[in-house]
Chains A and B, each alone.
Chain A
């Protein structure tokens, strides 16, 4: 990897790209949990990130929980074992999935040896702008997503390849918490890409119109 990236000055390494994606996922999850009212609003505080103000949870238990998940996600990103991360918002009482926030993670094909001078490294500011756009879009989805009156919980699912190594006692196979196709609507959000990863965001929500 390092030799491949050597010619470009500020090229992002796999490690750096992983860090960006993990960071993005952390803030996206926090933003969703705040905007969708999964956790009470006063559990969150303002943090400057990506050139804007984002909400970050202060709840220690939640923070630790997310960190544990993100650590594993980071490992999977390095090994390329994860293809999709899903944040499902579930009704606390009925256990019905209300919303699914889907983040597809695609590995960008590394450019061929000959073409690497043609593909200039993406400046970090551009990546940040793309991430900012996604986060802003998540905030703006509140305008069309159905309001959730009932108390909700969330769950984070990771779609991994069969071969990915999974810490056996920490991650377990599970139901995909899908929303029935006839009762769901989907909205595609923006995407962002580093030189190595491409993350596409999408939200599916239960709508029985």
Chain B
């Protein structure tokens, strides 16, 4: 930036500014007119004189040059000198003149004279508190004011009231009357209003009860709407909070029917009675260990039993819980149990003092419990509408060791029974709420963020991610009693099997090969649905591991 080539341009710019200056001179003019009057009112003898330093713009002489150009040439005036100085120094800007105008307006405001005047004429004090141009009238309720006037008409002059009334379009000299009784209370019938309250969630959701027995599928995806196989399950308890079926990797389905537990070999179709709950109690949960060799059975009494499936013998009973074991989850040799009192215990099945950890994070019954496949995280859902994720590491072997949840989510508004980890994206956790919530939330368990939410037409009773597809299965209770398949991550409905059971679908599990889903319900049926296919290349492997579940069922027919 060299000054030399710039100077001509700058000069020409200052010349170009001249059209603005008449307004400046006009402002100065108005000042000269205004200030003597003000000072006169002050009563001081101070007279404006040309050399007034406080106001460099002050120019009392009547032979004031009309344009600053002229002033600049005359050279005798302070204003133009200072301007010239500024111009020479290169500080004059486009806003220079305007800022000078600001100075004038500031000077124009008379706070000090006001003070002096207030001594002599106290009546005029608050007049100067207001700006003359901006009304600072408080925001007030005109109608209320008028109403006050209406009640007390003598407080204001009648003309003023009339004008105000006209402006606010309010009637004057009129009475505002209301009937002496209050209108009747809307819901006179308490039973009716209670019923309304109960059915409200059913009306509130989209798609609820549109067609009660319909099944819809995506056009690009065909899903069998009929179950592949139906098994009778007499005495199956219709209780939302229990978890009564489990499908092992050895292709064995364990079912708890009342006080007895049965094992159904999917390959052969044979049924073996495993054991009974103690007199007066019932089986509240079953779960197979990861290798499929052992079966954990939770009792209504709070005991957890360990059974060897192969020899059909009870290995041990692990007591300690005081309420029913609504859910069980295995991780290696650790069997975790969710109890009716809200506690979760880790039982190490190998050692005598089996209780190795207690997780306290639920105020209500724990009814959903799932280990992540790698055993690092444990997700739990409870009747207190809370979803907790726990660090899976089992701490000090100490009866009293307690842990706090890695994170806690309270978004659900009803009991959380359905929790599911995603097999192909380990950080994903899905959780679903009960009747009043009926919402599925998908969480990123690494960050704790809620990724997706989906409201469904009915209570969510169980959730599973499809092993070989980017899909999420959910089962639902009244009124749809449906099995739904949602695409992930779009959460669009891929398929829905309405009225999959005659009553609410309560339990579900996925076959080890990942193609068939078994559901159980209060209508005392177990139904097997072929919802997915085992992908071709992984088919052989899955076939080996799954023991050819599909063929087994077909052979039985």
Binding site for B on A (CB under 8 A): 38-40, 42-43, 59, 61-62, 65, 68-69, 72, 83-84, 151, 153-162, 164, 166, 169-176, 178, 180-182
* Sampled A-B contacts (21; CB under 8 Å): A59-B184, A62-B183, A65-B184, A153-B186, A155-B178, A156-B178, A156-B183, A157-B177, A159-B171, A161-B174, A162-B174, A164-B175, A166-B177, A169-B180, A170-B180, A171-B180, A173-B176, A175-B176, A176-B143, A178-B147, A180-B141
B144 contacts the other chain (CB 8 A): yes
B196 touches A40 (CB 8 A): yes
A153 to B187, CA, bound (A): 11
A188 to B141, CA, bound (A): 21
Q: Tell me the minimal C-beta distance from B201 to chain A in angstroms.
A: 16
Contact yes or no, B184 A62, CB < 8 A: yes
B178, A181: Cβ atoms under 8 Å?
no
**Interface residues as binary, B143-166 with A (CB distance below 8 Å gives 1, 0 otherwise):** 110010000000000000000000
Chain B residue, CB-CB nearest to A166: B177
Nearest B-chain residue to A68, judged by Cβ: B179
- Tell me if A171 and B178 are in contact (CB < 8 A): yes
Quick check: is B181 within 8 A (CB to CB) of the other chain? Answer: yes
Q: Is the CB of A181 within 8 A of B142?
A: yes
From A43, A153, A155, A159, contact of B175 by CB (8 A): A159
**Which chain B residues border A180 with CB–CB below 8 Å?**
141, 143-144
Residues of A within 8 A of B171 (CB): 83-84, 159
**Interface membership of chain B positions 179-193, coded 1 if the CB is closer than 8 angstroms to chain A and 0 otherwise:** 111111011100001
- Check A175 against B175 for contact (C-beta < 8 Å): no
Q: Which 5 A-B pairs have the closest CB atoms?
A: A61-B184, A178-B143, A174-B178, A171-B177, A39-B186
> When A83-B171, A84-B171 are in contact, do A178 and B177 touch as well, CB less than 8 Å?
no
Chain A residues closer than 8 Å to B143, beta-carbon distance: 176, 178, 180-181
- Which single member of A43, A68, A172, A176 contacts B186 (CB below 8 Å)? A43
A79 to B174, CA, bound (A): 15
Asked whether B131 is an interface residue with its Cβ less than 8 Å from the other chain, the reply is no
Contact residues in B for A72 (Cβ distance below 8 Å): 179
B139 within 8 A of A: yes
Q: Which residue of B lies closest to A64 (CB)?
A: B184
Q: Name the residue on B nearest A41 (C-beta).
A: B196
Residues on A with beta carbons closer than 8 Å to the beta carbon of B176: 157-159, 173-176
Q: Are B144 and A178 in touch, CB under 8 angstroms?
A: yes
CA distance A102 to B143 in the complex (A): 15
Residue B73 interfacial (CB < 8 Å): no
Are A65 and B147 in touch, CB under 8 angstroms? no
Give bound CA distance, A174 to B142, whole Å.
17
Q: Which of B142, B181, B188 contacts A59 (CB 8 A)?
A: B188
Evaluate contact between A158 and B186: CB separation under 8 angstroms: no
Verify A182–B139 contact, CB threshold 8 A: yes
**Contact partners of B174 in chain A: CB under 8 A:** 83, 159-162
Nearest chain A CB to B244's CB is how many angstroms away? 39
Q: How far is the CA of A104 from the CA of B404 in the complex (A)?
A: 66
Smallest CB separation, B446 vs chain A (Å): 36
The interface on chain B, measured as residues whose beta carbon lies within 8 A of the other chain's beta carbons, has a size of 26
Give the shortest distance, in Å, between B171 (CB) and chain A (any CB): 6
Q: Which residues of A contact B173 (CB under 8 A)?
A: 161-162
Contacts of A160 in B (CB 8 A): 174-175, 177
Shortest CB distance B194–A (Å): 12
14 further contact pairs, Cβ within 8 A, besides A40-B186, A69-B179, A174-B178: A62-B184, A68-B181, A83-B171, A151-B186, A158-B176, A159-B176, A164-B175, A166-B177, A171-B177, A171-B178, A172-B180, A174-B176, A175-B147, A181-B141
Residue-wise interface mask of B (130-146) relative to A, using a CB-CB cutoff of 8 A (1 in contact, 0 not): 00000000010111100
Task: Indicate which residue in A38, A42, A157, A164 contacts B178 across the interface (CB closer than 8 Å).
Answer: A157
Looking at A69, A161, A164, A181, which has the most chain B CB atoms within 10 Å of its CB? A181
Contact residues in A for B175 (Cβ distance below 8 Å):
159-162, 164, 166, 173
* A196 CB, min distance to chain B CBs, angstroms: 20
Give the residue of B178, B188, B196 whose beta carbon is less than 8 angstroms from that of A172. B178
Kindly state the separation between the CA atoms of A93 and B303 in the bound complex, as whole angstroms. 50
Task: Write the chain A residue with the least CB distance to B187.
Answer: A40
Closest chain B residue, CB of each to CB of A158:
B177
Cβ-defined partner of A171 (8 Å) among B141, B179, B193, B196: B179
- Closest residue on chain A to residue B147 by CB atoms: A176
Chain A residue contacts of B179, Cβ below 8 A: 65, 68-69, 72, 156, 170-171
Question: Which residues does chain A contribute within 8 Å of B141, judged by CB atoms?
Answer: 178, 180-181
Q: Closest A residue to B170 by CB, please name it.
A: A176
**Which of B174, B188, B196: most chain A Cβ within 10 A?**
B174
Are A65 and B181 touching (Cβ within 8 A)?
A: yes
**Which residues of the other chain, B, contact A65 by a CB distance below 8 angstroms?**
179, 181, 183-184
A175–B187 Cα gap in the complex (Å)?
26
Chain A residues with CB under 8 Å of B177's CB are 157-160, 166, 171-174
Contact A158 B188 (CB under 8 A): no
Name B173's closest neighbour in chain A (CB-CB): A162
Q: Which residues of A contact B168 (CB under 8 A)?
A: 181
Is A155 a contact of B147 with CB atoms below 8 Å? no
Closest to A155 in B: B178
Q: How far is the CA of A194 from the CA of B515 in the complex (A)?
A: 74
Q: Which residues of B contact A157 (CB under 8 A)?
A: 176-178
A209–chain B nearest beta-carbon distance, Å: 16
Q: Shortest CB–CB separation between residue A130 and chain B, in angstroms?
A: 23
**Complex Cα–Cα for A151 and B147 (A):** 27
Q: What residues of B have a CB within 8 angstroms of the CB of A175 in the complex?
A: 147, 176
Distance (whole angstroms) from the CB of B470 to the closest CB of chain A? 37
B188 to chain A: which residues have CB within 8 Å? 59, 61
- Residues of chain A with a CB closer than 8 A to B182's CB: 153, 155
CB distance from A175 to the nearest CB of B (A): 7
How many Å lie between the Cα of A170 and that of B177 in the bound state?
Answer: 10
Which residues of A have CB within 8 Å of B186? Answer: 38-40, 43, 59, 151, 153
User: For residue A59, which residues in chain B have a CB less than 8 angstroms away from its CB?
Assistant: 184, 186, 188
> Please, how many angstroms separate the alpha-carbon atoms of A84 and B169 in the complex?
12
Given known contacts A59-B188, A171-B178, A175-B176, is B142 in contact with A155 (CB within 8 Å)? Answer: no
**In the complex, which residue of chain B has the Cβ closest to the Cβ of A182?**
B139
Contacts of B181 in A (CB 8 A): 65, 68
B331-352 contacts to A (CB < 8 Å): none
Chain A nearest CB: distance from B170 CB in Å?
Answer: 8
Complex Cα spacing A139 to B184, Å = 23
Chain B residues near A154 (CB, 8 Å)?
A: 183
Contacts A59-B188, A178-B144; is A153 near B183 (CB within 8 Å)? yes
